[in-house]
């Protein structure tokens, strides 16, 4: 039986699973007990992916090997244990949505990034070209200001084509999606069928992620590459599946799936291990982040080949995707004369 669930239902489910797992984890006393627990949690989250990628972490003897390795490793404190988990469970998983993150950072992380804006745009003839390099929550304020500018540009210029360049975008939050409403003359709905890996139930999820923001009908194009990941992949996939935009470029890195991610605090004290990479900051607590569901295809099957990456409508085939779209727009303009 497949249940229809709302956004609120999913948040309640996440909270209940998180509370249950956290209570169990906090009841454990030894590092070996915690290792066994975390291994089983991660395996439940990643088993199908491990089987698909033939990852050794799903082998029958994997846990025994990890226990023996832990017993031969000097663990002086909780930070050492977190480093052991990172080295032996997180890094070998090769799964983008399985990771460790700080709960709270006190101090300023060193940054190697440039001063390049996250969002930039230009109008070329009758085409607006928009580049968004990240959907990270930290850029939401910038997005609100820039998209307000763009709305004014659209109102004062004869724009017929919208190119949204998300190449290199590793995702972030789907709160970004609301700003794209200025390009769409209808609501955009996200609808998928999932399997909950922790309750072994299936459910159907439908949510309006972009609301109508204009009466004008634009020709929309999205540029993708192999670095488009997570929420950026979700954006591309939603637009493609509903024929709301034409995707041009190459197959995405994917993993824009799963509507439920759990952040489980596995350390609530100060962390001083190797994850800091020499940064002069204080980290209070570490979260283990992992998905608790996977998408299913129309046959009710987990389909890594087709659901875990998004393929373009037009492959750039070694050419620059932007150039391909501009050429296509010019061809269409010539045909209309």
Gap between the Cα atoms of 276 and 274, Å rounded: 5
The count of C-alpha atoms lying within 13 angstroms of the C-alpha of 252, restricted to the half-sphere facing its C-beta, is 37
Task: Annotate 99-119 with DSSP letters as a single string.
Answer: EEEEEEEES-------S--SE
**In the chain, % of residues over pLDDT 90:** 65
pLDDT tens per residue, range 266-312: 999 999 888 877 666 788 999 999 999 888 888 888 887 766 789 99
Gap between the Cα atoms of 55 and 145, Å rounded: 44
CA geometry: angle at 100 spanning 138 and 209, to 5°?
A: 45
For 260, 289, 293, 302, the CA distances from 265, given in Å and listed in that order, are 16, 9, 19, 29
pLDDT tens per residue, range 6-31: 878 888 988 999 999 999 999 999 99
The pLDDT value given to residue 258: 59
Task: Annotate 162-230 with DSSP letters as a single string.
Answer: EEEE-TT---B-GGGGGGGGGG-SS-EEEEEEEEETTTTEEEEEEEEEE----S---EEEEEE-TT-BT
Residue 109 has pLDDT above 80, yes or no: no
Gap between the Cα atoms of 267 and 276, Å rounded: 15
Residue 336 has pLDDT above 80, yes or no: no
Confidence of residue 250 (pLDDT cuts 50, 70, 90): very high
The pLDDT value given to residue 1: 66
Residue 112 has pLDDT above 70, yes or no: no
The pLDDT value given to residue 9: 85
pLDDT tens per residue, range 89-102: 999 998 877 999 99
pLDDT tens per residue, range 159-213: 999 999 999 999 888 899 999 999 999 999 888 888 999 988 898 888 888 999 9
H helices of 86-160, in order, are 140-156
**Residues 133-165, buried b or exposed e (16+ Cβ, 10 A)?**
bbbbeebeeebeebbeebbeebeeeebebbbbb
CA pseudo-torsion sign 265, 195, 15, 10: positive
Question: Residues 319-330: what's their mean pLDDT?
Answer: 95
The pLDDT value given to residue 278: 62
The pLDDT value given to residue 108: 58
- Let me know if 282 is exposed, middle or buried by CB neighbors in 10 A (0-12, 13-18, 19+): middle
The pLDDT value given to residue 50: 92
- 293 within 8 A of 221, measured Cβ to Cβ: no
- 105 within 8 A of 285, measured Cβ to Cβ: no
Confidence of residue 139 (pLDDT cuts 50, 70, 90): very high
The pLDDT value given to residue 110: 53
In the sheet that 282-291 helps form, which strands lie side by side, from edge to edge? 99-106, 282-291, 261-271
Residue 106 has pLDDT above 80, yes or no: no
The pLDDT value given to residue 256: 61
CA geometry: angle at 93 spanning 14 and 259, to 5°?
A: 25
The pLDDT value given to residue 155: 94
The pLDDT value given to residue 279: 67
* Structural domain spans, the chain: 1-337
Higher pLDDT, 259 or 2: 2
pLDDT tens per residue, range 141-151: 999 999 999 99
Confidence of residue 257 (pLDDT cuts 50, 70, 90): low
Per CATH, the number for 1-337 is 3.90.226.10
pLDDT tens per residue, range 48-90: 989 988 999 999 999 999 999 999 999 999 999 999 999 999 9
For 6, 14, 22, 52, 139, the CA distances from 200, given in Å and listed in that order, are 18, 14, 19, 19, 36
Higher pLDDT, 193 or 314: 314
The pLDDT value given to residue 126: 94
The pLDDT value given to residue 280: 63
Question: Residues 251-279: what's their mean pLDDT?
Answer: 82
157 in helix, strand or coil?
coil
- 230 within 8 A of 97, measured Cβ to Cβ: yes
pTM tops 0.85 = no
């Amino acid at each position: 039986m497949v249940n229809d669930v709302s956004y609120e239902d999913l948040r309640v489910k996440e909270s209940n699973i998180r509370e249950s797992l956290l209570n169990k984890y906090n009841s454990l006393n030894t590092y070996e007990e915690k290792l066994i627990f975390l291994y089983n949690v991660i395996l439940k989250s990643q088993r199908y992916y491990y089987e698909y990628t033939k990852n050794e972490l799903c082998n029958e003897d994997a846990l025994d090997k990890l226990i023996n390795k832990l017993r031969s490793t000097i663990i002086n404190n909780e930070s050492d244990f977190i480093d052991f988990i990172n080295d032996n469970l997180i890094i070998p998983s090769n799964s983008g949505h399985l990771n460790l993150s700080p709960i709270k950072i006190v101090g300023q992380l060193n940054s190697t990034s440039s001063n390049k804006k996250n969002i930039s745009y230009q109008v070329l003839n009758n085409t607006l070209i928009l580049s968004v390099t990240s959907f990270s929550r930290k850029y939401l304020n910038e997005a609100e200001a820039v998209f307000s500018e763009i709305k004014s540009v659209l109102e004062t210029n004869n724009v017929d084509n919208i190119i949204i360049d998300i190449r290199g975008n590793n995702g972030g939050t789907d709160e970004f999606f609301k700003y794209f409403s200025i390009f769409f003359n209808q609501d955009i709905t996200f609808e998928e069928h999932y399997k909950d890996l922790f309750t072994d139930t299936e459910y159907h999820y439908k949510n309006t992620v972009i609301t109508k923001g204009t009466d004008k009908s634009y020709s929309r194009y999205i540029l993708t590459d192999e670095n488009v990941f997570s929420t950026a992949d979700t954006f591309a996939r939603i637009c493609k599946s509903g024929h709301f935009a034409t995707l041009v470029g190459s197959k995405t890195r994917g993993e824009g799936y799963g509507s439920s991610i759990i952040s489980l605090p596995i350390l609530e004290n100060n962390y001083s291990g190797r994850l800091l990479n020499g940064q002069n900051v204080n980290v209070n607590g570490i979260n283990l982040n992992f998905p608790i569901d996977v998408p299913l295809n129309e046959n009710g099957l987990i389909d890594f080949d087709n659901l875990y990456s998004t393929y373009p409508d037009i492959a750039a085939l070694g050419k620059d995707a932007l150039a391909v779209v501009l050429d296509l727009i010019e061809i269409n303009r010539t045909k209309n004369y």
